[in-house]
Amino acid sequence: MADVQPPPAPAAPDAILAADVGSTRTHVCLIERVEGAYRLVARAESPTTWGEPENDVTIGVCRAVQDVEAIVQRPLLDGDGDILTPMEPGGVAGVNTFVATSSAAPPLRCVIVGLTDDLSVESAARTCAAANTVVTRTISLGDTMRRWDDATLQSLHQSPPDVILIVGGVDTGPVAPLESAALVLATIYETVEPERRPVVVFAGNQEARRALMDLLAPLFDYRVVDNVRPNVDVETPGELHRELAEIYERIALPRVPGYARLQRWAAGPVLSTFEALGNTLRYIAQRDRLERGVLGIDVGGGTTHVGAVRGSIYQWAAAAGIGTGQGADALLRLAGRDRLLRWLPIPLSTTEAASFLQNAHLRPHSIPQTMEDLVLGHAMLREAASISLEQMRLLYWSPEDDESWGAGHASARPMPSFDLIAARGGFVAHTPQDGLITMALLDAVQPVGLVRIVTDWATIWPQVGAVAAVAPLAAAQVLARDGFHTLGTVIAPTGTGRPGEIALRLSIAREDGKPLTLDVPAGSVRRVPLAAGQRARIRVYPSRAYDIGLGRRGVGGQAEVVGGSLGIVIDARGRPLQLPEDAEECRTRNQLWLRNLIDDDADAPA
Amino acid sequence: MMMPTRLLEVRFSPTAQIVRRRLLPAPGEVTVQVGDHVEADDIVARALIEGQLRSLDLTRALQTSARAALRCARVAEGTPLAAGDVVARRRTLLSKREVTSPWAGTVRGVCDGCLFLQEEPQEVRLRAHLPGRVVEQYPGLGVAVQTSGALVRGVWGSGGEGYGLLAVCVDAPGDALRWNSFGLRYRGMVVVGGTLYDPRALYRASHFGLSGLVVGSIAPELMRLAATLRLPIVVTEGLGAIPMAGPVFELLARHHGRQAVVAGPQGEGQNGAELIVPLPGEGAMMALVPAQAIETGDIVRLTRPPFMGAIAQVIALPGRPQETAIGTHADGAEVRLQDGRRVFVPYVNMELFG
């Protein structure tokens, strides 16, 4: 008998095509080995072809791939319009591997069934809001008048939701009401075709698990997770949050028209964009040994996603239907016109603003061509990111997480400090002025302490997260060499001072220049140029009213910082950021802050 | 290797072969054959769909607990019911309470104090919607109907489907459709206006039984109201006070008095809002394509400020991304506006007029 040879290890691919199919745009990038290292060779984007008239997302992928073909001057699609794999000998056509991520599916539609309107139902609704899930109806079993009325029955029976989430009861609480609800659900869906039945997730009283399983498991895809409110004072949303994310990937994504073809092309499973982006953020935190972690902000056309890596833990929140494209309408309704308009540095009437926003919602693929349109988009970016950050605060971040946190309501507390803010999204990639992006991120995140800001200039982070599964070296090298655009390092103290008072004194020693000392007045934003890749040693001396993130006011510190397109940015506006009540004054302040960031020579010392 | 051809959405076509699929919500029976000629109102397929699920709250009606209500039920799962049948009865020393079913149907169960019954299956009849010829049959599911005519695809719509004579009720594409722009004699017609910001016009259109409204733009605050009315509405340009594009208005004015079919999505939204003016016997027409390669000389509609709603002609197709007025680099075309200016516009900010 011949010796059995172990199969040869798969060769590392020379060319990888990766696509991210978003709800508004599809991004494709080509990664190739160039002189021994993997590089981003070409990238292209195309409107996502989710709806009428194409109804097939692979058409948008192919259009973007055709643009990549034109850049690299070699065919990547075959005669049938499929991705050409494997690569032809000599590298004259095709690629070795194709991977894909997607967030094109609409948010999950969920009905919550609970004992009462408060407590567990509130916890479940908060968890859904942060898990790209829209709650279409809440059924309170305590409401004996309306719990199973005709309107409820018709919505459940005629347009079944994706998920029914049953919650309620502290652990060891009563079981009978939950059993009754389960019986009713079984009655409603008994004659409905199995493929139209919703997934049922039970996140309630542990005592009821077995009884509900007996009633529901024969009919439904039945899932059990931790009780979202095991007692009145404790909320444990983590497992439910993960389960909803898994259901989105397993049920919602495959419903995207053209998904089967996309999956056929791909070397591995089509990952959700959120998961793939999480892989990338985790890798960055690990690679750079970032003790305070990374905050990722992805404001897309239809969904806004915020993820934070701290230590080995990755936490995220995705605001369903909130974004700067299709999500503009929902964002406008949620945030309100006044909150959006307060960020504008130029005068724009509410009618004009509403018209801009609503038309952007109708044609989400279009891009701004005027400064009014652009800054309105950045106002949306601020509010969308704020909503997701608020979800993170409510779900995950407690005062104990960070020493710099004070007491009080969640929204009044400053952000936990991070080493890196990594931002991406349509308005981040399509804004040529780095000052505008930085200002929007400073306003939305209101970071504390010392933090570096980078952007996904090429819109490749999710694709790189998917590439990591098939070619980790390629992902790491592309991310290191081509993945970032560094805006700069921000110093942002907490505290408030009177206008004109010095908030902090900054001493900067550049590698190649004379030391520089700068006094930064309270309420101002300043910038000191420091080119990308350059390093400088800084010493910060805050006044007694300010804390630079060390947990004590008036205590100074020193650090080595790296430059970026903007250099070093000092945000001495204090935390939480207070905008003037008067609209005119607010606009003037916004103009001043922006000018200090955009203009090279506004106030910043050379 | 050549630069890829740029495909742009076709939103308007004065003459084309149009095919629309008509599909049942559940499997059923197709009643027409390939090659049959159908009118808009003809039934092309029918199906039985599940009856509505109804509930009767026995605990409230009998003033008892959920457990006791179960004992009071006089019917069991599977029992067929006629309207008026007694389904539960409770006797006490002083009174007798009975619950009757207001609906005919079949009992599905009694739980949580409620009796659940399902009404008899209902027949759904699918109309052709489009006058034309059946070109494809999907057994048990529906058909595809082809017609030749003019097509205007909207950016927003609501209210479902309708058909009737086309009536242009304004003089210019920017004229507002007012409450007194049309009267009762327009019942059953598809009325065309430039802009719409008067809620009274909407109420009146619904009250008078118009078959549809087609406008260039609608005030954003009217969208919610429009979506609640059972009146097909198609918006061709956008929101605010944007005049209807000149070529679209001229086409509709030319076909004033002809039969037209209008479709807004059920509820509201962007998918499927369109107006079709069938033009049978107008000679051979090209098949309508959803997206078409852009070429020099093409007429396009610009869809983002500062040129929102403007009509322009493509005069050059630079092969590389160009800088826009705000510094962004994007693929696009150089176009000539109607006032003679030459401007660069990204492809994603324009739509093709076929």
Report how far residue A496's alpha carbon sits from residue A483's, in angstroms, rounded to the nearest whole number: 36
Distance between B4 CA and the closest CA of chain A, angstroms: 6
Mean pLDDT, residues A376-386: 95
Report how far residue B151's alpha carbon sits from residue B261's, in angstroms, rounded to the nearest whole number: 10
Q: Please report, in angstroms and rounded to a whole number, the separation of the first and last CA atoms in chain B.
A: 27
Size of interface A-B (CB pairs under 8 A): 143
Nearest to B348 among A47, A149, A372 (CB): A47
Q: Which of B111, B266, B345 is the mutation pick for testing A, counting most A CBs within 10 A?
A: B111
> A299 in helix, strand or coil?
strand
Q: Summarize pLDDT for B3-19 with one digit per residue, the tens.
A: 667 888 788 888 888 99
- At residue B337 the predicted structure's pLDDT band, cuts being 50, 70 and 90, is very high
Tokens 């100074």 belong to which residue? A556
Report the percent of chain A where pLDDT is more than 70. 93
Given CB atoms, is A51 within the 8 Å cutoff of chain B?
A: yes
DSSP A90: G
Residue A400 has pLDDT above 60, yes or no: no
Q: Summarize pLDDT for A534-568 with one digit per residue, the tens.
A: 999 999 999 998 998 888 888 999 999 999 999 99
Distance between A191 CA and the closest CA of chain B, angstroms: 9
Least trusted range by pLDDT, from A257-271, A410-424, A579-593, B106-120: A410-424
Distance of CA A23 to the CA centre of its chain: 13
Report how far residue B78's alpha carbon sits from residue B57's, in angstroms, rounded to the nearest whole number: 18
Distance between B339 CA and the closest CA of chain A, angstroms: 19
Report how far residue B110's alpha carbon sits from residue B129's, in angstroms, rounded to the nearest whole number: 42
Nearest to B326 among A63, A74, A370 (CB): A370
In chain B, ranges of CATH 2.40.50 domains: 53-119
Check residues A500 and A136 and name the one with the higher pLDDT: A136
Fold classification of B8-47+131-278 is Glucose Oxidase; domain 1 (3.50.30)
Q: Summarize pLDDT for B187-219 with one digit per residue, the tens.
A: 999 999 999 999 999 999 999 999 999 999 999
Question: Burial letters for A378-408: b for 16+ Cβ neighbours within 10 Å, e otherwise?
Answer: bbbbbbbbbbbbbbbbbbbbeeeebebbeee
> A353 in helix, strand or coil?
helix
Q: Which two tokens stand for residue A423?
A: 């931002």
Mean pLDDT, residues A369-386: 94
Write down the pLDDT at residue B269: 65
- At residue A5 the predicted structure's pLDDT band, cuts being 50, 70 and 90, is low
Q: Please give the CATH number for the structural domain made up of B294-353.
A: 2.30.30.30
Residue A101 has pLDDT above 50, yes or no: yes
Mean pLDDT, residues A153-175: 89
CA distances from A121 to A138, A147, A270, A321, A409 (A): 8, 14, 32, 21, 21
Inter-chain residue contact A148 with B306, CB threshold 8 Å: no
A580, A563 contact by CB (below 8 A)? no
Write down the pLDDT at residue A404: 43
Half-sphere exposure of A291 (CA within 13 A, CB side): 2
> Nearest CA to A178 among A147, A210, A146, A141?
A141
Inter-chain residue contact B326 with A368, CB threshold 8 Å: yes
Inter-chain residue contact A70 with B1, CB threshold 8 Å: yes
- At residue A199 the predicted structure's pLDDT band, cuts being 50, 70 and 90, is very high
- Of the options 3.40.50.720, 2.60.40.420, 3.40.50.150, 3.30.420.40, the CATH number for the domain spanning A15-102: 3.30.420.40
Angle formed by the axes of helices A209-216 and A176-189, to 10°? 10
Q: Which of B326, B349, B350 is the mutation pick for testing A, counting most A CBs within 10 A?
A: B326
Nearest to A153 among B9, B53, B348 (CB): B53
> Nearest CA to B170 among B257, B241, B237, B249?
B249
Least trusted range by pLDDT, from A168-172, B135-139, B143-147, B287-291: B287-291
Write down the pLDDT at residue B282: 67
- At residue A355 the predicted structure's pLDDT band, cuts being 50, 70 and 90, is confident
Q: Which residues pair with A527 in a beta bridge?
A: A569
Write down the pLDDT at residue B3: 63
- DSSP string of B184-245, one letter each residue: GGGTT-EEEEEEE--HHHHHHHHHTT-SEEEEEEE-GGGHHHHHHSS--EEEEEEESSPPPP
In this structure, the strands spanning B233-239 and B190-196 are unpaired
Distance between B187 CA and the closest CA of chain A, angstroms: 30
Q: Which two tokens stand for residue B56?
A: 């009767």
Write down the pLDDT at residue A606: 38
Give the domain ranges of chain A: 15-102, 108-253, 273-598
Query: What is the H or E stretch that residue A540 is in?
Result: strand A535-542
Q: Which residues pair with A306 in a beta bridge?
A: A297, A317
Write down the pLDDT at residue A6: 62
Residue A3 has pLDDT above 60, yes or no: no
Q: Which two tokens stand for residue A408?
A: 């009080």
Residue A406 has pLDDT above 50, yes or no: no
Chain A residues in contact with B324 (beta carbon < 8 A): 367, 369
Touching B: A residues 167-196, CB under 8 Å: 180-181, 183-184, 187-188, 190-191
Closest chain B residue by Cα to residue A158? B52
Q: Name the burial class of residue B268, with classes exposed (0-12), middle (13-18) and buried (19+) by CB atoms within 10 angstroms of its CB.
A: middle
Closest chain A residue by Cα to residue B241? A355
Nearest to A148 among B55, B325, B346 (CB): B55
Given CB atoms, is A197 within the 8 Å cutoff of chain B?
A: no
Closest chain A residue by Cα to residue B302? A366
Residue A411 has pLDDT above 50, yes or no: no
Question: What is chain A's mean pLDDT, rounded?
Answer: 89
Residues 6+ apart with CB under 8 A from A191: B50, B108, B118
Write down the pLDDT at residue A170: 80
Distance between B79 CA and the closest CA of chain A, angstroms: 15
Nearest to A362 among B270, B290, B328 (CB): B270
Query: What is the H or E stretch that residue A468 is in?
Result: helix A461-470
* AA letter at A418: F
Q: Percent helix, strand and coil across chain A, each rounded to 5?
A: 35, 25, 40
Q: Summarize pLDDT for B141-164 with one digit per residue, the tens.
A: 999 999 999 999 999 999 999 999
Residue A102 has pLDDT above 70, yes or no: yes
Residue A344 has pLDDT above 60, yes or no: yes
Report the greatest alpha carbon distance in chain A: 89
Given CB atoms, is A368 within the 8 Å cutoff of chain B?
A: yes
User: Class for domain B53-119, per CATH?
Assistant: mainly beta
Q: Summarize pLDDT for A233-262 with one digit per residue, the tens.
A: 888 888 999 999 999 999 999 999 999 999
Q: Please give the CATH number for the structural domain made up of A108-253.
A: 3.40.50.2300
